[in-house]
Structure 1
Amino acid sequence: MNYHEISHFSHQHKLKYEYTEFPFKCDGCKEVGIGSLFKCSTCDYDLHTHCALPSTSICHLFYTKCSFQFLPRPPGNTPRYCNACEKDVTGFVYHCNSCGFDLHPCCAKLPMMLDDGEVKLYLYRKVSAPCHRCGRKGRSWSYRSSCKKYNLHVACVKEMLVESWHGYLWRGNSRKLETRIPSLKYTLQTYPHKSKGKKVQKCCEMAGLAVQFIISAVLGDPTTLIAGVIGMLMSK
C-alpha cells in the first residue's frame, strides 16, 4: 500500500510523503537521511520512511533468538548504542528486551543484499577482511561485494558522511543544509594494484558504485540511487 499522507503519534500535524536530494535530520531516530521521507510543511518535521511507518516488532537474521520491539525512545537512563553501526541511539529504536540489543530503524531495515545488475553487495554481521575505509577487521556490520574486493563497515559509512558534512550550518529555522551531499573523494583506503590502466580505473569505478549503494541504504532509501548527488564518487 502506498501512503501519501499519514498521521503519526510523534507529531500533531499530518505528514506528507516527499522525495528530496538534500540531506535532512530525521526527527524520529535523530539520524541523517536523504531521498524518501514524510514531512510536515508547517513545522518542518521530517521522518525517514522507516520511522514514519515502523513495524511494531521485527526479527533479524543476525539475531535469531531476539525479538525487537519498536520504541519511541531508548529504554532506561544509560547511554545506548546501535548494534549495527555502533552509533548512539537517541531517538526511535528497535530494542530487544531479553538481550538488550538496539537497532536504529534504518539499520534494522538494511537490505541483506544490494544489487544493480553489476555489483552485488551482501550484508554481514562480521567480516574477517579489512574495511576499505578504516583498514580494520570486524567492528560493525559490513557490506561486502560478491567478488570480495570491496568491504565497508556500516559504521565507517556513517563516519564518512559526518566528516564530509562537518561544519555545515543550519540556516535559522529553515533547517536546510548549505549544500547537497558532499564529494566523498579520497575517503576510501588506497591499496596497491597488480594491474594497471583500464583495470585499475574499472576497479575504482566499481568501488565508487559500491559506496554509492551502501550510502543510499544507510540513509534510509535503499530502493533509490541518488544518482545526481552521490554518483561519480571516485571519478573526480
Structure 2
Amino acid sequence: MSLEVRHPARPGCMLTLHGDADAMAFQCTGCMETGKGPRYTSGDHVLHTYCALATPTLQHPLVEGIMELRLVAPTGGDAVRCDACYDAVRGFHYHSSTSGVDLHPGCAKMPRSITLRGGTIFDLRTEVSHRCTSCKAMEGFYRPWFYRSENNPDQRMYLHVKCIKEIQDAGDDDEVRMMVRLQERAGRNVRLERRVCKTLVIMVRIVFRLLIGDPTPILTEGVNAIVSMAMQ
C-alpha cells in the first residue's frame, strides 16, 4: 500500500498510512464504520485502508452493473442499507444503478472465495436457503450475504457477512473467546461442534485480516483467498 494517498472526498488532503495491525479501534470518517488495524490519517480524518484506496467505480462479480463510489449517504426516506451485511449506510458506499445494490467499501472487498488448510472452500453468496451456522437466523424477508462451505453438502457451514463483522467488532480475536461468542450467538439450545467453531473462527479472522491488509492469517493458516473482482 502507498504511504500517502489523496483523500477520496478532499483532493487537497493527503492521507498518511499508519500500519500498526494491533492499533486501537477507530471510527472511519469515510464509511463511518468501526475499524481496527492499519488506517490512513490526516488531522481529524481517519479512514480504513479500503476507504482511502476506494476506486471511483467497481465491477463486483456478484452485482449486476458497474458500481459507483458515492461519498455521501442518502438520508431520510432515501436511506439505504448495505446489501451484504444489512448495516445502515452512513458514508462512503458503492451503488449500482442497474441492480440497486449498495455495499460498504469493506463489504465490497470481501474475498469471493477462501480455501482453508485441509481443502475446505467457502464461497461468498448473495442468497442461500439455509440458516446461518453462527446465529441460526434466516433474517426474514431480507437475507444478508453468506459464506457457504462447498466441499461436503451433508456438513455445510454457513456464515453471514453480518455475523463476521459483529463477532470481530465484539472484541479481540483470541480463539477461545471467539468460540464462546459463536456459541452464545447460536443460542442455549444449540451446541456447535468444536470443529465447526474452530473453522468459523478461522474464517472470521481471515476475512477481517485480509480487509485490513494483514497477511498473518494467510501465513499461519495456509489460506488461499481469491478476490475475483476487477477495479476500474
Query: Do they superpose with TM above 0.5?
Result: yes
The one-character-per-residue Cα deviations of 1:167-188 (angstroms, maximum 9, x if unpaired) are: xxxxxxxxxxxxx568434222
The structure carrying a bigger helix percent of its residues is: 2
| Structure 2 unmatched runs, 5+ | 219-232
State how 1:157-176 maps to structure 2 within 5 Å. 157-162=164-169, 164=170
Corresponding residue for residue 174 of structure 1: none
Corresponding residue for residue 127 of structure 1: 128
Shift of 1:116: 4.3
Tell whether the 8 Å contact from 2:63 to 2:99 is kept in structure 1 after alignment. no
Cα distance in 2 for partners of 1:186, 1:8 equals 39
The one-character-per-residue Cα deviations of 1:2-42 (angstroms, maximum 9, x if unpaired) are: 411122143564211122323221110011222332122xx
State how 1:38-187 maps to structure 2 within 5 Å. 38-40=40-42, 43-64=43-64, 66-75=65-74, 77=76, 78-118=78-118, 119-137=120-138, 139-147=143-151, 148-162=155-169, 164=170, 183-187=177-181
DSSP-derived class of the 2:16 partner: strand
Tell whether the 8 Å contact from 1:114 to 1:122 is kept in structure 2 after alignment. yes
Tell whether the 8 Å contact from 1:26 to 1:48 is kept in structure 2 after alignment. yes
Tell whether the 8 Å contact from 2:8 to 2:52 is kept in structure 1 after alignment. no
Tell whether the 8 Å contact from 1:111 to 1:222 is kept in structure 2 after alignment. no
Corresponding residue for residue 233 of structure 1: none
TM-score for both structures, normalised by structure 1: 0.72
Shift of 1:133: 2.0
DSSP-derived class of the 1:88 partner: coil
The structure carrying a bigger strand percent of its residues is: 1
Query: CA RMSD of the aligned region, Å?
Result: 2.8
Shift of 1:141: 0.5
Cα distance in 1 for partners of 2:53, 2:115 equals 24
Corresponding residue for residue 228 of structure 2: none
The one-character-per-residue Cα deviations of 1:77-133 (angstroms, maximum 9, x if unpaired) are: 521111111110010011122443211111111110123434432111112232122
Share of identical aligned residues, percent? Answer: 28
Q: Which moved more, 1:148-157 or 1:86-95?
A: 148-157
Cα distance in 1 for partners of 2:122, 2:178 equals 19
TM-score for both structures, normalised by structure 2: 0.73
Tell whether the 8 Å contact from 2:8 to 2:54 is kept in structure 1 after alignment. no
